[in-house]
Structure 1
Amino acid sequence: MKILHLASPNLGGIESYIFSHYKYMDQDKFQFDFMTQNRDLRDAEEYRNFRFNVKLLPTTAAKDPEDFTRRVYEILSEGYDVLHLHTCFWTGFRIEEIAREIGIKKVIVHSHSSAIDETDVRRRELLLKRHEEVKRSFSSDLATDFWACSRKAADWLFGEQIPKSAIRVMKNAIEVERFQFDPQMRQATRKELGLEGSWVLGTVGRLSFQKNHAFLLEVFWAFHEAHPSAKLIIIGDGELRCELGRQIEESGLKDAVLLLGWKAAVENYLQAMDCFLLPSRFEGNPISLIEAAASGLPAVIADTITEEAVIADIIHRVPLDVFRWIFALEEILRQPIDRREGERTVRMAGYDVRRQAKALEMLYESRD
């Protein structure tokens, strides 16, 4: 069965979602290909580990509609059984129209976010306006399946255009055992980073408007005043790295904040933490929080994040107010937590990627 994924212009969470599931699918039975503007996808580590083809788009529908349409027709005419469109916000639905014209039997539109991650206010407003215009024009005859990582992500992309009963929520599953609590790894990583004797807060995610690191630093500055031995680990990279570095310097927190960039073995750094923080302005359903939960970490997250993300009672969903976050952290600091329960909790909540991969196989084969 040939499945074509519309991937994002940059390697990120969507590609991680695709490859983490593909790893546990029958690759003799399912062939994944990618349609993308991202030339770097061919150099990704997954290109060496999996068998897939990259179909490059030379432009966008907005920049050159004629060339874009011609290339999409060429790609979609290569005999695909399924077209799986991963998206965060609407810019148009020309690909869906072409897929239906050609007669691809299964066209899936899959929502992965709940707002627009754009730092520039004016550009964000323009993109939001376009998103709402396209959403109002989208109709159920442009796809066969409507998926989302949460109900919030479903409302964001489909609105009233698609009945809620027609939308399937697909959980952002993970390799649960990879993140289970490991006391020896915790000790080794804390020693490597010089964190022994510290209460360690941490976060994982792109350094972008969405993730709201400026608020995170406000919270940590106030917490650090009361707990001078506390440390903060920030894992991730992105367009706001320089600005974040400047804020750390100006706050006098240079010796207390570890700005580590992207790390392949993020599970090791989760072991070193004592509490996970996620002050995002919005999320679809954050994989980083599921990974933290699997390692048994208590967490404080913004109440802008969908309630579906609260899969354990050690996850505290709190409004974006510095004093309320400090109060939540002080409460966590006083409570003993058995981190060994994390793996079981995440499995019970249905976030085991092995099971989700088999469900994905069945859905691809389904003609309903």
Structure 2
Amino acid sequence: MHSDLAVLNAQRPLVVHLVYSLDVGGLETLLVDCINRMPADKYRHAVVCLTRYSAFADKITQPGVELYALNKPPGNGLRVHVDFWKLMRRLRPTILHTYNLSAMEYCFTAAAAGVPVRIHAEHGRDASDPHGLNPKHNFLRRHLAPFIDRYVPVSDDLQRWFAEVVRIPAAKNHLIKNGVDTDRYAPRAQAVTAAPWGAGDIVIGAVARVQDVKNHASLVAAFALLRERLPALRDRLRLSIVGDGPLFGKIQAQVAEAGLQDVVWLPGARADVADLLHGFTIFALPSLAEGTPVSLLEAMACGLPSVCSRVGGIPEVVVDDVHGILVPVEVDALAEALARYVQDPALRARHGAAARARIEDKYSMAAMLGAYTALYDGLCARKAPARLRPIVNS
């Protein structure tokens, strides 16, 4: 039995996924889902974190997945490149799959270590560069192209940006849209949630890492404004912000300063997001920049209407006034859109049903996994065919 398993492992190409860290987040959820659900007889997986990984890694259920933390300090670290090179020489992966700007430069290191296939995915842009115009970063993206076989944007917006701004060749610009588990994230007639709200409450909810690009400060400000504008509904209005991150303390302080502690719930990072979403009435995503946000796909799959910033790939997912309401990055507009939903249950129901249908039609987990598997298969067949040949016992 053990020898058979060893042969199977030797026959399956290894994919190394390189991320900045492995903690609660949309990209990380997507990565874990891909590892868990990709056909187990096709590829092995390992996850390398430039910094660290948390208990979130326990969500990986695929047997045999190894985790590594390089403990990268702030700034540029040549030592980490050396450590990564040594690790690649030891693991001998067939594919390196990097995620976002912080990991991209390691495609060069992997090439030097003899990794035959290198893929780089961009899942969104930073708050400091929401339109992706930073010349230094784009210079790096463009000049690493000889060492990257495919760039994978997750939205039409990011694919256009790769083509028109970064100037990535069309042959290397490979769109794969994010997908969601429509069985786990689905409408429920009877939902039980751990949130401290009552059945008659109108709950505005957000699920996102608490960092500047997600713009939680504007959501808290808009919620306070909403309570002022709708005094008749004031006692039913609630806000849930699920997530942790570098600005969590700042958001806590903002809530306290506004005197909203009794009506705003800040539980931090949670493992039961699918359950918590069913306690929401409206989903809010006031981000400054986005790719195709996984949290939005999950909320829509649960049949929630959404109020979102009109940025990045969001307008590709949410058609304004069909699946949700799109607004400029502005507190007053956010409060006004939330007020429309708060006062109109029929509109909420109509948009929520349309949102669920949209996810089933365009953003399934099966379609995403099929696209990644096909990409891996094609590049391996072209660049590392020997690693795909079955091993025959003599």
User: TM-score normalised by the shorter chain: which range applies?
Assistant: 0.7 to 0.9
Post-superposition shift, 1:276?
Answer: 0.8
Gaps of 5+ in 2: 1-12, 383-394
| Kept in 2: contact 1:61–1:68 (CA 8 A) | no
Post-superposition shift, 1:184?
Answer: 0.6
Provide the rounded CA distance (Å) in 2 between the counterparts of 1:366 and 1:61: 36
State the match for 1:100 in structure 2: 111
State the match for 1:86 in structure 2: 99
With over 3 angstroms needed to count, the CA separation of the structure-2 counterparts of 1:62 and 1:251, relative to structure 1, is closer
Gaps of 5+ in 1: 119-123
Post-superposition shift, 1:353?
Answer: 1.2
State the match for 2:189 in structure 1: 183
Given residue 232 of structure 1, which amino acid in structure 2 is its aligned partner? L
Provide the rounded CA distance (Å) in 2 between the counterparts of 1:83 and 1:259: 37
| Kept in 1: contact 2:203–2:280 (CA 8 A) | yes
1:176-228, CA deviations, whole angstroms, 9 ceiling, x for partnerless residues? 1211110211xx338x6232222111111111111111111111111112131
| Kept in 1: contact 2:26–2:208 (CA 8 A) | no
Provide the rounded CA distance (Å) in 2 between the counterparts of 1:9 and 1:277: 25
3-state SS of 1:141 partner? helix
Post-superposition shift, 1:4?
Answer: 1.0
Post-superposition shift, 1:328?
Answer: 2.0
Post-superposition shift, 1:54?
Answer: 2.4
State the match for 1:148 in structure 2: 153
Do structure 1's residue 173 and structure 2's residue 182 form an aligned pair? no
State the match for 2:208 in structure 1: 205
Given residue 266 of structure 1, which amino acid in structure 2 is its aligned partner? V
Given residue 70 of structure 1, which amino acid in structure 2 is its aligned partner? V
Provide the rounded CA distance (Å) in 1 between the counterparts of 2:275 and 2:54: 26
1:206-263, CA deviations, whole angstroms, 9 ceiling, x for partnerless residues? 1111111111111111111213121111111112122111111111212211112122
Query: Which residue of the other structure, out of 310, 316, 340, is the alignment partner of 1:308?
Result: 316
- Equivalent residue runs for 1:311-350 within 5 Å: 313-332=322-341, 333-334=343-344, 336=346, 337-338=349-350, 339=352, 342-349=355-362
| Kept in 2: contact 1:116–1:128 (CA 8 A) | no
With over 3 angstroms needed to count, the CA separation of the structure-2 counterparts of 1:262 and 1:221, relative to structure 1, is same
Post-superposition shift, 1:129?
Answer: 6.2
Given residue 109 of structure 1, which amino acid in structure 2 is its aligned partner? H
Do structure 1's residue 71 and structure 2's residue 63 form an aligned pair? no
Q: CA RMSD in A?
A: 2.8
| Kept in 2: contact 1:41–1:54 (CA 8 A) | no
Post-superposition shift, 1:21?
Answer: 1.4
With over 3 angstroms needed to count, the CA separation of the structure-2 counterparts of 1:7 and 1:135, relative to structure 1, is closer
State the match for 1:358 in structure 2: 370
The number of equivalent residue pairs is 353
